[in-house]
Amino acid sequence: MQSKMKESDPILEVENLFASTDNLPILKGVSLTVYPGEIHAIMGRNGCGKSTLSKIIAGHPSYNITNGDIKFLGENINSLEPEERSQSGIFLGFQYPIEIPGVSNLEFLRVSTNARRKFLNKEELDTFDFEELVKEKLEIVKMDHAFLSRSVNQGFSGGEKKRNEILQMALLEPKIAILDETDSGLDIDALRIVASGIKKISNAQTGIILITHYQRLLDEIKPNYVHVMSDGKIIKTGESDLALELEKKGYEWTDNFIKET
Amino acid sequence: MVNKNLVKDVVKEPYKYGFITDIETEKIEKGLNEDIIKLISQKKEEPKFLLDFRLKAFKRWQKMKEPDWAALGYKKIDYQDIIYYSAPKQKEKISSLDEVDPKLLETFDKLGIPLTEQKKLTNVAVDAVFDSVSIATTFREELAEHGVIFCSISEAVKNHADLIEKYLGTVVPASDNYFAALNSAVFSDGSFVYIPKGVACPMDLSSYFRINSGDSGQFERTLIIAEESSSVSYLEGCTAPMFDTNTLHAAVVELIALDDASIKYSTVQNWYAGDEEGIGGIFNFVTKRGKCLGKRSKISWSQVETGSAITWKYPSCLLLGEESVGEFYSVALTNNLQQADTGTKMIHIGPKTKSTIVSKGISAGNSKNSYRGLVKMGTKAKGSRNYSQCDSMLIGDQASANTFPYIKSQQSNSEIEHEASTCRISEDQLFYLQSRGIEFEEAVSMMVSGFCRDVFNQLPMEFAAEADKLLALKLEGSVG
């Protein structure tokens, strides 16, 4: 129903996507198109396939695409490695960022940033130049420099982990960012920091998919579209007021749409 | 899964040092008996005390049993099927490097250890050992100016017999264990280092051991003596060609540190490990021990063990002197069908002695990696302390890791602290790094070097970088 009169080409096109893990079907025909400058929200009960969709777009090896296509900037990326997807500008903000003991956050961020820069034919940054860049980006998420010398996400609080994700997004400057429950586990202040960070990083050329359960993130970042997922499918798409209605009526209300479809 | 295919597609870099030097060698007959030992001793023109030392060791060895307590499984070694002396044919007496067979120089060139005057490494003196003999030692004159003796042990036997007679076998007696007895009977060459009183050795010393011959064993012997208030950093590297048979390597290393002396001994062991099916590779049975004889003396072992089909090795410290310090930092990596049983012994004898053990075992493929360590506090070790940390990392679900810490304390006024952990590189961790644009192989090696960081920090600079690369290389294709 979206994208009737778009001027530019879509960033991401998910076309009738079916996927499974261990022969268990999780996605059962998802279609979604994101154009530059758009913010999409995906909502739905736990287990409806929201997180799976985000992982599959990022290339998680545990899931098999059994049917359908994912296109990024017009190219089919079904068989691309996760690192190739990241380098070309797809970013997944993890619901539960992973701890990597022994690997310094600074070095991790630098290697990651350089992988993206290399793809963009930009000069790779040495430690000193990278320090400069990261200092600037730390401002966006109001993180302390001390975070950089710790191991990746190790011993970080929930909020710190999420801010570290947004810091990575700021460094990688993706074309599309899929943020999987970035708002969960955040207090009001942290939520505002994260939300304003996301807004600063995104622009008219980028697309954002917010996976969330809560209206409060959508109060901060107003989506152009809201999709409701259930049992591996998008069962309803609307504008930002759909989220408000959903908050009022609960997911039970959306069960009716399943019957309709 | 996508990743598995990727890993298979990665062109595996073969063992870089697996080439054979085609050179005429002088080998003696296979087998071990008194006559063979006499022949080795005669070839090396040794004094009588050394022949006696060898024969006595041989008698002991004949009565001993090969140890079977290690968590290792291998085909029985036929000690009569080994050649105990093999040396490249050279002129009788070599007075300068110009007379060394260019093929040998080329071999060490290829190994990254150039020996000639024009090309030699500038910051480190090297003793290059090829099969049973030392080929060349660089920077001898420069070191001699400081009174430092650095030469092959064969030369030391000739030129510094008094020191050899005084110290050889005092740290690792021939009767210590089966492999030490064997080595004492048949050792062919190795390095000798003597640092006189008050001298800080002006450069790092290094021995490079190269096995070339497939049917002969290597039995090197190293002796390092640091007199009062002296210090030295010694590095050891080892490689071997790829044979489909197993080659026995049974070395003995003895370190002696007197009052206020310090010895830092670093090893990067990269003997051929055998192929993916476990065919070939070096059997590495090594006894390394240091004696902190003096007050405040210090011996520090750091090792990166990546090679060999079998590793059996426990670099240890006898802490006799008051306030002496022993350290052991180890990274042991096993892949495919490699087996390693390695660790240390810290024997606290003197009062206020201190020891630190940091061991990192990484097992990939179908390999088996065990840490085995003993910390002992003797009756006089009042106020002594030990800290041990043993971490294991598993890669894939076929590899195994064990930790066997033995603790014996006869002194209540002493402290022993032991920490252990096991972790596995998870698919989630790899996906996280990959989803940030980091290639699969690089992601693995980042995590492994992160895991080993505490140990790498202890290695000399150039060694640390090499160790990092070596681990990455060894792990290529091990995860899927």
Note the pLDDT tens digit of each residue in A139-177.
999 999 999 999 999 999 999 999 999 999 999 999 999
Cβ separation B450–A119 shorter than 8 A? no
Nearest to A98 among B429, B437, B438 (CB): B429
Q: Which residue has the tokens 């240390």?
A: B344
Residue B163 has pLDDT above 90, yes or no: yes
Which chain A residues have a beta carbon less than 8 Å from that of B440? 81, 83
pLDDT, average across residues B21-48: 87
Across B264-282, b (16+ Cβ under 10 Å) vs e yields: bbbbbbbbbbbbeebebbb
The pLDDT value recorded for residue A250 is: 84
CA of B274: how far to CAs of A59, B279, B280, B334, in Å? 35, 5, 4, 11
**Cα–Cα distance for residue pair B204/B143, rounded to 1 Å:** 11
Tokens standing for residue A51: 């997180």
Residue B187 has pLDDT above 60, yes or no: yes
SS (H, E, C) B417-460: EEEEEEEECCHHHHHHHHCCCCCHHHHHHHHHHHHHHHHHCCCC
The pLDDT value recorded for residue B8 is: 27
CA B64 to chain centroid, in Å, comes to: 24
Residue B139 contacts A, CB cutoff 8 Å: no
Tokens standing for residue A42: 């995906």
**Cα–Cα distance for residue pair B114/A150, rounded to 1 Å:** 40
CB B287 within 8 A of CB B322: no
A78 compared with B69, residue with greater pLDDT: A78
**A23: which residues sit within 8 A by CB, 6+ positions away?**
none
Please give the single-letter amino acid code of residue B302: S
CA of B463: how far to CAs of B43, B234, B237, B265, B330, in Å? 35, 11, 10, 12, 13
Residue B447 contacts A, CB cutoff 8 Å: yes
> By CB neighbour count within 10 A (0-12 exposed, 13-18 middle, 19+ buried), where does B141 fall?
exposed
- The pLDDT confidence band at residue B328, using thresholds 50, 70 and 90, is very high
Cβ separation A58–B435 shorter than 8 A? yes
CA of B212: how far to CAs of A163, B104, B217, B309, in Å? 56, 11, 10, 16
Residue A254 has pLDDT above 90, yes or no: no
Min CA distance, B424 vs chain A (Å)?
11
- DSSP designation for A147: G
Query: For residue range B258-272, what is the model confidence (pLDDT) as tens digits?
Result: 999 999 999 888 878
- The pLDDT confidence band at residue B3, using thresholds 50, 70 and 90, is very low
Cβ separation B427–A62 shorter than 8 A? yes
Mutate to test the interface with A, among B9, B426, B432 (most CBs of A within 10 A): B432
The pLDDT value recorded for residue B90 is: 66
Please give the single-letter amino acid code of residue B473: L
Q: Which residue has the tokens 């998420």?
A: A141
Residue A84 has pLDDT above 80, yes or no: yes
Residue B1 has pLDDT above 50, yes or no: no
Secondary structure class of B272 (helix, strand, coil):
coil
- DSSP designation for B256: E
Q: Which residue has the tokens 């892949």?
A: B335
pLDDT, average across residues B311-320: 95
**B244: which residues sit within 8 A by CB, 6+ positions away?**
B275, B279, B280
- DSSP designation for B297: -
Chain B residue with the nearest C-alpha to that of A117: B437
**Cα–Cα distance for residue pair A118/A124, rounded to 1 Å:** 6
The pLDDT value recorded for residue A118 is: 96
Residue B438 contacts A, CB cutoff 8 Å: yes
Residue B435 contacts A, CB cutoff 8 Å: yes
The pLDDT value recorded for residue B92 is: 55
The pLDDT value recorded for residue B216 is: 79
pLDDT, average across residues A172-195: 93
**Cα–Cα distance for residue pair B137/B169, rounded to 1 Å:** 24
**Cα–Cα distance for residue pair B86/B104, rounded to 1 Å:** 14
Given phi > 0 = left and psi -120 to 50 = alpha, else beta, which region is A16? left
**Cα–Cα distance for residue pair B467/B173, rounded to 1 Å:** 32
Min CA distance, B428 vs chain A (Å)?
7
Q: Which of B146, B123, B127 is nearest to B135 (CA)?
A: B127
pTM of the entire predicted model: 0.81
**Cα–Cα distance for residue pair A168/A148, rounded to 1 Å:** 12
Min CA distance, A202 vs chain B (Å)?
18
Min CA distance, B422 vs chain A (Å)?
12
Chain A residue with the nearest C-alpha to that of B480: A61
- The pLDDT confidence band at residue B247, using thresholds 50, 70 and 90, is confident
pLDDT, average across residues B358-376: 92
Min CA distance, B389 vs chain A (Å)?
15
The pLDDT value recorded for residue A3 is: 46
Residue A92 contacts B, CB cutoff 8 Å: yes
Nearest to A81 among B426, B434, B449 (CB): B434
Nearest to B446 among A82, A86, A103 (CB): A103
Query: For residue range B72-84, what is the model confidence (pLDDT) as tens digits?
Result: 888 888 999 888 9
- The pLDDT confidence band at residue B324, using thresholds 50, 70 and 90, is very high
Tokens standing for residue A17: 């996507």
The pLDDT value recorded for residue B124 is: 77
Cβ separation B442–A111 shorter than 8 A? yes
Mutate to test the interface with B, among A81, A124, A161 (most CBs of B within 10 A): A81
Residue B440 contacts A, CB cutoff 8 Å: yes
Domain ranges of chain B: 25-313
- DSSP designation for B132: T
The pLDDT value recorded for residue A40 is: 97
Give the H or E element holding residue A33. Answer: strand A24-34
Q: What are the beta bridge partners of residue B52?
A: none
The pLDDT value recorded for residue A135 is: 94
The pLDDT value recorded for residue B462 is: 67
Residue B85 has pLDDT above 90, yes or no: no
**Cα–Cα distance for residue pair A165/B74, rounded to 1 Å:** 49
pLDDT, average across residues A56-80: 95
Across A29-52, b (16+ Cβ under 10 Å) vs e yields: ebebbbbbbbbbbbbbbeebbbbb
Which chain A residues have a beta carbon less than 8 Å from that of B447? 100, 102-103
Q: Write down the ipTM of this complex.
A: 0.94
Min CA distance, B448 vs chain A (Å)?
8
User: What sign has the CA pseudo-torsion A66, A71, A76, A82?
Assistant: negative
Residue A178 has pLDDT above 70, yes or no: yes
Residue B116 has pLDDT above 80, yes or no: no
- The pLDDT confidence band at residue B122, using thresholds 50, 70 and 90, is low
The pLDDT value recorded for residue B95 is: 62
CB B349 within 8 A of CB B379: no
The pLDDT value recorded for residue B14 is: 59
Min CA distance, A112 vs chain B (Å)?
5
Residue B446 contacts A, CB cutoff 8 Å: yes
Give the H or E element holding residue B15. Answer: none
Q: Angle CA(B281)–CA(B283)–CA(B288) in degrees, nearest 5?
A: 135
pLDDT, average across residues B191-211: 90
A174 compared with A254, residue with greater pLDDT: A174
Counting residues of chain B whose pLDDT is more than 70, the rounded percentage is 91
The pLDDT value recorded for residue A260 is: 58
Residue B472 contacts A, CB cutoff 8 Å: no
> By CB neighbour count within 10 A (0-12 exposed, 13-18 middle, 19+ buried), where does B331 fall?
buried
**Cα–Cα distance for residue pair B45/B407, rounded to 1 Å:** 45
Residue B111 has pLDDT above 80, yes or no: no
By residue count, chain A amounts to: 261
Chain A residue with the nearest C-alpha to that of B439: A83
Question: β-strands A24-34, A176-180: how paired?
Answer: unpaired
Cβ separation B434–A79 shorter than 8 A? no
Longest dimension (CA), chain A: 59
- The pLDDT confidence band at residue A43, using thresholds 50, 70 and 90, is very high
Tokens standing for residue A260: 């309709």
Residue A4 has pLDDT above 50, yes or no: no
Residue B451 contacts A, CB cutoff 8 Å: yes
Question: β-strands A100-104, A90-93: how paired?
Answer: unpaired
CB B231 within 8 A of CB B257: no
Cβ separation A103–B447 shorter than 8 A? yes
The pLDDT value recorded for residue B398 is: 86
The pLDDT value recorded for residue B288 is: 96
CB pairs under 8 A between A and B: 85
CB A231 within 8 A of CB A258: yes
- Over chain A, what is the mean pLDDT? 92
Residue A72 has pLDDT above 60, yes or no: yes
Min CA distance, B399 vs chain A (Å)?
20
Residue B349 has pLDDT above 60, yes or no: yes
Residue A164 contacts B, CB cutoff 8 Å: no
- Between helix A127-141 and helix A188-201 the angle, nearest 10°, is 120
Cβ separation B433–A62 shorter than 8 A? no
Question: β-strands A176-180, A207-211: how paired?
Answer: parallel
pLDDT, average across residues B110-120: 73
Across A92-113, b (16+ Cβ under 10 Å) vs e yields: bbbbbbbbbbbbbbbbbbbbbb
Across B392-415, b (16+ Cβ under 10 Å) vs e yields: bbbbbeebebebebeeebebeebe
Residue A94 contacts B, CB cutoff 8 Å: yes
Mutate to test the interface with B, among A98, A114, A153 (most CBs of B within 10 A): A98
Q: What are the beta bridge partners of residue B329?
A: B302, B358
- The pLDDT confidence band at residue A261, using thresholds 50, 70 and 90, is low
Nearest to A112 among B427, B431, B438 (CB): B438
- Give the range among B229-243, B280-294, B434-448 with minimum mean pLDDT: B229-243
